[in-house]
Amino acid sequence: MANLTGAERARYVQGMFTRIASRYDLMNRLMTAGQDVRWRREVIHRADLPPAARLLDLGTGTGDLALEARRQHPDCRPVAADFTLEMMRIGQERTRNAVVHPDWLGADALRLPFPDGCFEAAVSGFLFRNVIDIPQALSEQRRLLKPGGRIVILDTTRPPDNLFTPFIRFHLRVIIPALGRLVTGEADAYTYLPDSTQAFLTAEQLAERMRAARFREVGFRRRMLGTIAIHWGVK
């Protein structure tokens, strides 16, 4: 499925996440042995939010990054945005009884419905691997950031070859699809994960795209044997 392009790929991704929405969080915990919770903490830490910051969690899914921002910064004002409405519906159910919850909004990462310079930070978890136009998505997030605002991106990435490469490939191509079939009944969605990761930019290439989009102070750190990367930059 990773060879789909344009609107066809966008429709596939949207439909896929709609189908797995109810078990998405559970699968993330299982696939990463709970490490995704730690990565999200790091994303918010690297966003370096000022008091009462407005933060955009784009591709929010069930709202994990927006909720983590509230945990770390109780005065933060997060907006949780996604184009898969079923994912956000589940997130809204989780926060129904919360005293304070994110503002939820249906939005396309390529055409964001916000004025220029209205956020202190834009964060995303496992978004960029799925967008059909990375330069446009980066440009849109830069547009809505205030001067000095920060972008932080969490996503899968192709790991550099090392002694663990055969085990990583086995985990991605055999274990994860089998686990996906067992937990969600959707092995196809978890075959898409290794396929799209392999087709995605390397960590170095994504950093270059961020610099080309005029972000400064760009950097990244790899996690989980190089299969995950956290990137950051400043407007």
- The string of pLDDT tens digits covering residues 96-142 is 877 678 999 999 999 999 999 999 999 999 999 999 999 999 999 99
Considering the chain, what percentage of its residues have pLDDT values greater than 90? 69
pLDDT on residue 4: 57
3-state secondary structure the chain: CCCCCHHHHHHHHHHHHHHHHHHHHHHHHHHHCCHHHHHHHHHHHHHCCCCCCEEEEECCCCCHHHHHHHHHCCCCEEEEEECCHHHHHHHHHHCCCCCCCCEEEECECCECCCCCCCEEEEEEECCHHHCCCHHHHHHHHHHHEEEEEEEEEEEECCCCCCCCHHHHHHHHHHHHHHHHHHHHCCHHHHHHHHHHHHHCCCHHHHHHHHHHCCCEEEEEEEECCCCEEEEEEEC
Average pLDDT estimate for 72-101 = 90
Which pLDDT score is estimated for 45? 98
In the chain, the percentage of residues whose pLDDT exceeds 70 is 97
Residues 49-79: pLDDT tens digits?
999 999 999 999 999 999 999 999 999 999 9
Which domains are assigned to the chain? 6-157+201-234 (3.40.50.150)
pLDDT at 148: 98
pLDDT averaged over every residue in the chain: 92
Residue 207 has pLDDT above 80, yes or no: yes
> What is the structure's pLDDT at 2?
47
Q: Give residue 164's pLDDT band: very low, low, confident or very high (50, 70, 90).
A: confident
Whether the pLDDT of residue 211 is over 90: the answer is yes
